[in-house]
Amino acid sequence: MAVAVDRVDMLFNEMILQLRGQLSSFSDAFAIVGAIYTTQKTLNIVCGCYRAISVYGLPKLRRRPDLVSRYGPWALVTGCTDGIGKAYAQELASCGMNIILISRSNDKLIKCAKDLESQFRIQTQVVTADFSQGGAIYAMIEEEIKDKEIGILVNNVGVMYYPECLHEMNLDRIFQLINVNITAATIMSRIVLPQMVERKKGAVVNLTAAASIRPNPQLAVYTATKTYLDFLTQSLQYEYEDKGITVQSLMPCYVATKMTKYGQNVPSPGYFIPSASLYARRALSTLGVSSRTTGYWPHQLQLWIAEMIPDRMWLWGANIVNSAIKRRIVQQKKRGTLASSSS
């Protein structure tokens, strides 16, 4: 119906009324969207807190589980002569599990085995193998461990490198990263899983990394290998959960070990950078509780924050940090070269 208007102020008032109606409709729509968004975020926070309590809080209140009865009498740990691998082997031994130790240094293996036997009164077996050598070693490993009932496999062996762009990397280093970070965990799982399937129990723990959740400029190959391992683990957990087997992706942030040393010194342990022994103790308590976890509450907090950062900002920040680390390493190498040439 047409409306006759013979005054400007009446026309203006009519326009204002119509505009207010439209704005009110827009406001209602935005209010609904805001309420949905707020509800979603609130539920995410509540669910996150619940998961944190169930994964990191409740296990501390429970008695340590009988790992031998739950999984089997033997545990196999790769890369076990230093850092997280060594600490994880000690935690398993403290639970009464016998330990198969696989690493490339025979002297270190023997020492670790003797220490575990004397401290925890368990049996050990050592297998000397260099995972960087590729497929030739796996037939030997399989033969060495064929008579052992392995309940837990810890695929810990891994290598890292100082920040470099791909074109700067040595080809041998690239093959080492693939052979150690990807091939080792894949083939070791293939070797051990058949007996676990037969017994309908067992656990495979793959040491991935929190870095696997986002791209990482100048650490591209390392991040890609850990992402592969994380995706492999998630797929295997789905494949084998109905067979009574747990497959866990353990995703630590920085832990005070030689592997995370950038420069001359190992990082000092602290709240956000735990020692290897503290990390292994906390991580083992999450086995059978969570299939994908950092294993340590402060690391989980760091991971949540990292996941909220926009992709472009993350790439920019990671590149700045890695460039700074790279410059520091180059400077230290130059000082080392000058010192050695003058001696």
Residue 25: predicted pLDDT: 61
Residue 48: predicted pLDDT: 58
Residue 232: predicted pLDDT: 97
pTM of the predicted structure, to 2 decimals: 0.81
250 has which bridge partners? 207, 293
- Tokens 């009865």 — which residue? 69
Residue 336: predicted pLDDT: 67
Residue 259: predicted pLDDT: 66
For helices 184-199 and 138-145, the axis angle rounded to 10 degrees is 30
Residue 307: predicted pLDDT: 85
Query: What ranges do the domains of the chain cover?
Result: 63-307
Residue 340: predicted pLDDT: 36
Tell me which residue of 117, 127, 60, 122 sits closest to 95, measured CA to CA.
122
For residue 51, count CB atoms less than 10 angstroms from its CB and return exposed for 0-12, middle for 13-18, buried for 19 or more. middle
Residue 7: predicted pLDDT: 61
Fold of 63-307: Rossmann fold (3.40.50)
CB contact at 8 A, 138 and 297:
no
Residue 125: predicted pLDDT: 97
Residue 315: predicted pLDDT: 92
In SS3 terms, the chain reads as CCCCCCCHHHHHHHHHHHHHHHHHHHHHHHHHHHHHHHHHHHHHHHHHHHHHHHHHHHHHHCCCCCHHHHCCCEEEEECCCCHHHHHHHHHHHHCCCEEEEEECCHHHHHHHHHHHHHHHCCCEEEEECCHHHCHHHHHHHHHHHCCCCEEEEEECCCCCCCCCCHHHCCHHHHHHHHHHHHHHHHHHHHHHHHHHHHHCCEEEEEECCHHHHCCCCCCHHHHHHHHHHHHHHHHHHHHHHHHCEEEEEECCCCCECHHHCCCCCCCCCCCCCCEHHHHHHHHHCCCCCCCEECCCHHHHHHHHHHHHCCHHHHHHHHHHHHHHHHHHHHHHHHHHHHHHHHC
Q: Which residues are catalytic?
A: 222
256 has which bridge partners? 275
Q: Render each residue's pLDDT in the chain as its tens digit; 343 residues.
A: 445 545 666 666 666 666 566 656 656 556 666 667 677 657 766 665 656 565 666 555 566 679 999 999 999 999 999 999 999 999 999 999 999 999 999 999 999 999 999 999 999 999 999 999 988 899 999 999 999 999 999 999 999 888 999 999 999 999 999 999 999 999 999 999 999 999 999 999 999 999 888 899 999 999 999 999 999 999 999 999 999 999 999 999 989 887 665 555 556 777 889 999 999 999 999 999 999 999 999 998 888 888 888 999 999 998 999 999 888 888 877 776 434 333 3
